[in-house]
Structure formats: structure tokens, C-alpha cells
Amino acid sequence: MKKQFTISVFTENQIGLLNRVSIIFTRRHINIESIAASESEVIGIHRYTIVINEEEDLIIKVTKQLEKQVDVVGAFYHTMDEVVYQEIALYKIPTTVLVAGGKAEEIVRNHNARFLAVEPGFTIIEKTGHKEETQVLFNELEPYGILEFVRSGRVAITKPMKQLKEYLKELEITSLNN
Amino acid sequence: MEELLLEKVSTITGAQAVVQCLLAENVEVMFGYPGGAIMPVYDALYDYQEELKHILTRHEQGAIHAAQGYARSSGRVGVCIATSGPGATNLITGIADAQIDSTPLVCITGQIHAHLLGSDAFQETDVVGISMPVTKWNCQITKAEDIPTVLAKAFYIAQSGRPGPVLVDITKDAQFGNVDFEYEKCNQIRSYVPNPKVDNLCVKEAAVLINEAKKPLVIFGQGVILAEAEKEFKAFIEKAGLPAAWTIMGLSALSTNHELNVGMLGMHGNYAPNKLTNECDVLIAVGMRFDDRVTGNLAQYAKQAKVIHLEIDPAEVDKNVKTTVALVGNCKASLKQITALLKDQKHTRWLTNFKELKAIENEKVIQNETNPLLGDMTMGEVVAQINKITKGEAVVVTDVGQHQMVACRYAEFNQTKSSITSGGLGTMGFCLPAAIGAKFGAPQRQIIAVIGDGGFQMTIQELGTIFQTQIEIKVVILNNQFLGMVRQWQELFFDKRYSATEMVNPDFQTIAKGYGLAANKIEKRSDLEAALKEMLTHEGSYLLEVMVEKENNVFPMIETGASVSDIRLE
């Protein structure tokens, strides 16, 4: 059965590695739901958060293929209940709908969204949450006219996992004795 | 060699640094083709023609297949070099071949100046991007100072763990730039654990399974050769009396005449090991990856058996076949550990099953193929005749197709690293250049290239490389005037609709003559033995064209989607 999984990949900072990582999915015709990359708490180590809808058996194989890449420090997969995650969504709507006395402003406040910028022509709103939550806000604002919408990839922190620094120390020893 | 290596630190150009790195890695021969973006390196090579032999092939594909042949016959890293753009893209087939067959290669490509990258400059190609899916690792260098560390890493990655091809792309300005040269071999990369340590508990568990097995079957692949574990492997099977069957890549790791060698696995393999895969109680896979050509339909593959997998690449474990116990690590180590725990056994009754099925195959297929009395010559009898003369001592390099299956089925080998073929990728055109490389990798050995008329013409230009280098290669063309394997499938599965498989061939003898090669062509069985003897005793390279039956089929055969136990004899 297909389920949603979050894969965390820790890598050295090497040009082209994102390509190497994504090839592992594309060659098996797996769609990446979302991907986010940034530097981790350890300088020089980057982390990718990849969301995939697939069967666990395939996720295991893909994780091993990721791990196999020379510059990949480690790859781990987790089910939804093993991670705490967020996404950020930005909405651009006409400022006129806010000042016209309609319900738009109330909707934004009810969702605990923030006003990031207000210009005469448009207003930019930010909401952080799970996809379902940012989607509800989208649906409610849609009748007022959404000029632009963007949602980030998921960033996730896993509940049970070794500290990256400890993991790196162990790896340093295993790779040396090779 | 020592005096050639530069004093500790000195300032040299990036191109000179490339040459110094190759010398430091003890590279003696490389295969390549020059062009604009790699000219500085070629200029640097000019001063080292004695120490670092460069073999000029006639096409970059020839260069990389030669590097593969070199790696396979010598067990060392093959090195090839090409220019940017078309030079680099012409390497891709060979890189993909080396990746799927785990061949250690370092490929060096020139690249346009760094400031022009991405501008569609003349002969610019994103070779790092293109080669990414088919390299173990690759890297672009834009600064001369990075050359020593990156090349050291490249050699380390190519040959450690499960070997594979590495590509290093060097911009022209990096080749021209200066570097304070200092070379240190790489022996560790933090994110890379090439040789996982074998788990002792798993070894014990596996030994118990083998000791208790009534019908054990060992299936082995190239992992045995790559780990140089042939001795350990032989001791392992001999101690517990284990019948052992090989994948095409494992051929020659165990002498073909060894009493426990029960033959070839897979689509055109032998009857007994395929049939009995679905009867064994413990299946022990050593350095092989359960390729679909070996397993047939996975849903009906060895379902009754407990599976033990000795494998260096963790990603291969449970990829195609679920294992009961996996020994992840170098099989040279794990074989030794496990053998120590094995009971002496013979499994005489179980081995009789193999003999009985072999007798059936012998009568229905092998006799007719290797010793036909009537009709046109067969590929099998040519190979059998070669065996008689070489006594299993030669290196046999094959291309892809019917002749490859026949040669691998019937060729006899007494020593390892003797069968060189394109297994995983099935690259037609592999044979001739790979045979050239194999000769440089094992100069003291007799190299016989067995090629079909189709594959020969895919890299026929490499006859020029043989001519220029004056090396000794024996080329046997098994000419059936067809792309035989495709034709066989058309006959069996496409109502004999021979779409684009019949070949109108040129006069190969005349072509050979143009390249200064001795040549002969035979059409009669009565000429075969003498012609082969003449070829094999001839000093220098020789091309022998043998006209064989046009519409012969390779059997046994496991049809696509069928189970290994449904192997057909006719």
C-alpha cells in the first residue's frame, strides 16, 4: 500500500548532488511530492527533506540507493508519525478586497496568518502549517481573487534519531578502517 | 619510476599535474583520443611516452571499451581520456557498461574554459550532468589546484568497494593553470564506506543453514573475481561439497572443468542449474545481483529456498530476491569466515541430480551444437575446437548476441579473469576494443576475440588500433549473416518476420588486409581445425571469418517472463 514517507538525506556540499539525488527517483518513475534543501546544524553538511508517496518496500530500496552515493553521508526514511514538519505558504491578494469591508481580513486572522506586506495594489499573506491547513486558507481566499500563490517544500525534523554530530563521528571511524 | 615523480612540492601546470597523478597511481597505459579541450594534457603526455603509454584508438567508444578490457584482464583501474563535447559523449556507452558490470575506470575529459561554461560554446557538453546516472562518482575541476585531490579521490572511489566508473571533467583553464603539486593517495572519504564489516552473527547463521542443507546450491558472479577471492571460493564449495553455478560475469572464477562447477545460470544457461534452482533448499549467492536474465520470473524464483547473499553493496541486498541471511561485506573475508564453520560434506545424491539433467542437455543440445556431423558449421563447434587447441588457457573476449551465449556456454577456462564480455548492458561493439585493452592488461596471455558479424562492424575501426600498436589479437568472426539473437526472437516470438536483421556484409578479409592483418575465411567443417591452428600459431594479429549456419538458435532458453524451471531445450 502506498503511504506518505519523509526521506532525510544528509550530504557533503558537492555541486550536482541534488541532481544525483533526484535521478534515483526519476529513473524509477517516482514522483517527488516536495523537496527542500538547506545546510544542517553541522557546517558543510546539507540536508534534503523529500516527501514521497510510495510503498515501503520501494522506499527502502530507494533509501539504500541514496545511501550508496559516495557523497551521501546518510539517508533515512520515516513515516508521518515519526516526524514533526511544516510548510510555508505565501498568498498575494488584491488589497482592495481587504479594505472593501468583506470577510477577507477576518479569514486571514482566523487562520493565524500574517500580513507580510501591504501595498496599494496587493497584500502578501504568510501562513505556516501542514499542506491541508494552507490549502483551507487558499480555498477560503479564492473567491476574493488570489493573484499569486506559492507553497514551500516540507521541512521536517524526525522524532527518534541519533544526533548528526555523533553519527558523523562514527562514520569517520568506519570509513577510516576501510 | 621513482625519479620521474617530482620532488615533494613544485609548481607545475594543471595538465602536468594530471600526468603526475597518473604516474603516482602507477598507471602504465591509457586509452584515448585527443581534441581541443584536452590538448594541454596531451602536450604534457608527450614528455612521458615511455613511462605512460597512450594508446590512440579510432573512436572514443573504442578507448573506453579498451580501458574496460584492460581493467577486466588485469584487475587494475582502466584509464581513458577524451576531449569535451562529442569526445565525452562518445564515452557514455562504455561508462554505462562499466557501471552495470562494476568495472573500475577513471575517465578524464577535457572541458571548455570555465568562464564559457553554460554558454553553448564550441564542443561544450554538460558531461558531468550526462554521465551522472551512469557513474559511481563524477566531478568537474575548474581550478588547477584541485587536480591532485580530485584525481586521488577518483582512483580511490573507482577501485574500492564495489568498483565502478568515475569521470573527471577538467576545464581547459584548469589544465593551463598552475598548481603547487603534492600528491597524496586517498584512503578515506567520510561519507563513503566501501567495505562494510561482515557481521559475525550472520556468518554463524549462514553456516548453520549450509550445514543443515540437503540440497544446497551456490550461484556466483563477478564479485568473486573483483574481490580476488577465487581461492577462498574454491575452498568454500569444496569443503561442504556445494554445487556451484555461475552468472555470465562470474565465468572463469572457477575452472570450467571443476567437478562442482555445474554450469551457467540464466536465460541461455545450462539445464541443470536453472531447473534445480527451484528445487534447492538453500541458495547461496556470492557476489552476484540476481539480474533478471539470471532469475527469470521473480515470482517463481527459488521460492522454496532459504537465501544467503554474500554481497559488498548493501543496496543489492533484498533488491530483487528477499534474503534469509545477508553477509554484507567483501566476499574474500566472508567466504573465509564461513568456510571455517562448515562441515565436510559431499552431497553425492544431490549432485547426481545435476549429472542426470546435464546428460539430458548433452543429448538434446550440446552434442548437436559442439559436434555436429552434418549441415553447416555451428558456432558451438568453433568454440569447442578452440578449447581443444588452447586447452582453456586463453582469454576469450566476446561481443553480444548468439555467439556470446554460445562462447560463454562452451568455452573452457583454467584461470580467472579469462572471460571478458559485456554482461549487464549488452553492448554490441564491445568485443574488438575490449580485446585490445585486455591484451595490454595481460600481455603474456593469448587473447581471442569471438565476435558476430553484426557487433564486429560496430567498432570495426579499431582494427586501425591493432595495426598501429602491432599487438597480437586473434579475431574470430562467427558470421551467420544475421543479427542472430534478434532473428532468433523474431523466429520464436514474431512469426519469423525478419525485420531489419539480415546483414549484407563486406569482404572482411579485404578489410583486414587493408589494416595489414593476416586473414582467412572458411566455409567447410573440414577446414576448421587447420584454420584455427594456423590462426593461433600465427605471429601477430589474425582475423578468421567462419561462415556458420544462418538460422541456428541458442538453446536452452528461458523465455522472458517464464520461470527458471520452465527452461526449454528446443
Q: Do B195 and A178 touch (CB under 8 A)?
A: yes
Q: Is-catalytic flag, B25?
A: no
Chain B residues whose beta carbon lies within 8 Å of the beta carbon of residue A61: 315, 318-319
* Partner B contacted by A72 (CB < 8 A): yes
* Partner B contacted by A45 (CB < 8 A): no
Cα–Cα distance measured from residue B480 to residue B495, given in angstroms and rounded to the nearest whole number: 20
Cα–Cα distance measured from residue A79 to residue A70, given in angstroms and rounded to the nearest whole number: 26
Q: Which residue from B minimizes the CA distance to A25?
A: B133
How high does pLDDT run on average in chain B?
97
Q: Do A61 and B319 touch (CB under 8 A)?
A: yes
Answer whether CATH 3.30.70.1150 is correct for domain A86-151.
yes
pLDDT digits (tens, 9 = 90+) for A75-99: 999 999 999 999 999 999 999 988 8
In a domain, B64, yes or no: yes
CA distance A77 to chain B (A): 15
pLDDT at A77: 95
Chain A residues whose beta carbon lies within 8 Å of the beta carbon of residue B139: 14
- A166 — pLDDT class (breaks 50, 70, 90): confident
B150, B190, B319, B328: best to mutate for the A interface, most A CBs within 10 A: B190
Burial of B77 (0-12, 13-18, 19+ CB in 10 A): buried
CA distance A163 to chain B (A): 16
Q: Nearest Cβ partner of A70 from B140, B192, B319?
A: B192
pLDDT digits (tens, 9 = 90+) for B252-305: 999 999 999 999 999 999 999 999 999 999 999 999 999 999 999 999 999 999
Cα–Cα distance measured from residue A66 to residue B323, given in angstroms and rounded to the nearest whole number: 21
Q: Which residue from B minimizes the CA distance to A65?
A: B315
Instruction: For chain A, give the percent of residues with pLDDT over 70.
Output: 99
Mean pLDDT throughout A136-150? 95
- B5 — pLDDT class (breaks 50, 70, 90): low
Cα–Cα distance measured from residue B478 to residue B411, given in angstroms and rounded to the nearest whole number: 14
* Partner B contacted by A13 (CB < 8 A): no
Cα angle: B372, vertex B401, B567; to 5 degrees:
70
In a domain, B554, yes or no: no
Mean pLDDT throughout B36-65? 97
- B547 — pLDDT class (breaks 50, 70, 90): very high
Please check whether residues B28 and B97 belong to one and the same domain: yes
Q: Do A70 and B314 touch (CB under 8 A)?
A: no
Alpha-carbon separation of residue B251 from B128, B413, B419, B431 (angstroms): 33, 8, 6, 16
pLDDT at B7: 56
Chain A residues whose beta carbon lies within 8 Å of the beta carbon of residue B134: none
Q: Which residue from B minimizes the CA distance to A175?
A: B193
Please check whether residues B10 and B94 belong to one and the same domain: yes
Cα–Cα distance measured from residue B328 to residue B512, given in angstroms and rounded to the nearest whole number: 49
Model pTM score:
0.95
Of residues A167 and A127, the one with the higher pLDDT is: A127
Range of the domain at B151: 2-181
pLDDT reading at B126 higher than 70: yes
pLDDT reading at B9 higher than 70: no
Count of domains in chain B? 3
pLDDT at B555: 97
Q: Is-catalytic flag, B311?
A: no
Q: Do B315 and A68 touch (CB under 8 A)?
A: yes
Strands (DSSP E) found in B20-164: 29-32, 53-56, 78-82, 105-111, 137-141
Please check whether residue B535 is in contact with residue B474, taking contact to mean a CB–CB distance below 8 angstroms. Answer: yes
In a domain, B229, yes or no: yes
Starting at the edge strand found earlier in the chain, the sheet holding B395-398 runs B419-420, B395-398, B447-452, B474-479, B542-547, B518-522
pLDDT at B379: 98
A9, A19, A55, A70: best to mutate for the B interface, most B CBs within 10 A: A70
Please check whether residues B215 and B343 belong to one and the same domain: yes
Domain A2-84+155-170 top-level CATH class: alpha beta
Among A67-76, A156-165, B25-34, B557-566, which is the least confidently predicted range? A156-165
* Domain pair A2-84+155-170 / A86-151, same fold: yes
In a domain, B501, yes or no: yes
Mean pLDDT throughout A116-143? 95
How high does pLDDT run on average in chain A?
92
In a domain, B58, yes or no: yes
In a domain, B47, yes or no: yes
Q: Do A178 and B314 touch (CB under 8 A)?
A: no
Q: Nearest Cβ partner of B188 from A60, A71, A175?
A: A175
Chain A residues whose beta carbon lies within 8 Å of the beta carbon of residue B161: 178
pLDDT reading at B135 higher than 70: yes
Chain A residues whose beta carbon lies within 8 Å of the beta carbon of residue B191: 11-12, 70-73, 171, 175
- The answer for residues whose C-beta is within 8 angstroms of residue B207's C-beta and 6 or more apart is B338, B341, B342
Cα–Cα distance measured from residue A20 to residue A7, given in angstroms and rounded to the nearest whole number: 15
Query: What count of other Cβ atoms lies within 10 Å of the Cβ of residue A159?
Result: 10
Please check whether residues B250 and B287 belong to one and the same domain: yes
CA distance B401 to chain A (A): 26
Is residue B556 reached through a cis peptide bond, with omega within 30 degrees of 0 on the bond before it? yes
CA distance B135 to chain A (A): 10
CA-nearest of B294, B292, B257 to B277 is B294
Give me the interface pTM, i.e. the ipTM: 0.92
CA distance B101 to chain A (A): 16
In a domain, B278, yes or no: yes
Please check whether residues B176 and B288 belong to one and the same domain: no
CATH classification at residue B397: 3.40.50.970
Mean pLDDT throughout A110-130? 95
Q: Is-catalytic flag, B363?
A: no
Query: What count of other Cβ atoms lies within 10 Å of the Cβ of residue A7?
Result: 23
In a domain, B555, yes or no: no
pLDDT reading at B4 higher than 80: no
CA distance A9 to chain B (A): 12
CA distance B199 to chain A (A): 14
| β A122-129/A114-118 pair status | antiparallel
Of residues A158 and B41, the one with the higher pLDDT is: B41
Instruction: For chain B, give the percent of residues with pLDDT over 70.
Output: 98
Please check whether residues B385 and B534 belong to one and the same domain: yes
pLDDT at A178: 67
* Partner B contacted by A19 (CB < 8 A): yes
B442 half-sphere exposure, CB direction, 13 A CA radius: 26
pLDDT at A172: 84
H-run or E-run covering B340: helix B331-340
**Three-class SS state of B216:** strand
Q: Do A65 and B315 touch (CB under 8 A)?
A: yes
Please check whether residues B346 and B409 belong to one and the same domain: no
Letter for the amino acid at B371? N
Distance of CA B151 to the CA centre of its chain: 24
Q: Which residue from A minimizes the CA distance to B131?
A: A20
pLDDT reading at B460 higher than 70: yes
pLDDT digits (tens, 9 = 90+) for A19-46: 999 999 999 999 999 999 999 999 999 9
pLDDT digits (tens, 9 = 90+) for B499-521: 999 999 999 999 999 999 999 99
Q: Is-catalytic flag, B485?
A: yes
List the domain boundaries for chain A: 2-84+155-170, 86-151
Among A160-174, B201-215, B325-339, which is the least confidently predicted range? A160-174
pLDDT reading at B341 higher than 70: yes
- B3 — pLDDT class (breaks 50, 70, 90): low
pLDDT at B8: 59
Active-site option among B68, B136, B159, B172: B172
pLDDT at B449: 98
pLDDT at B459: 98
Q: Nearest Cβ partner of B132 from A19, A61, A68?
A: A19
Q: Is-catalytic flag, B172?
A: yes
CATH classification at residue B294: 3.40.50.1220
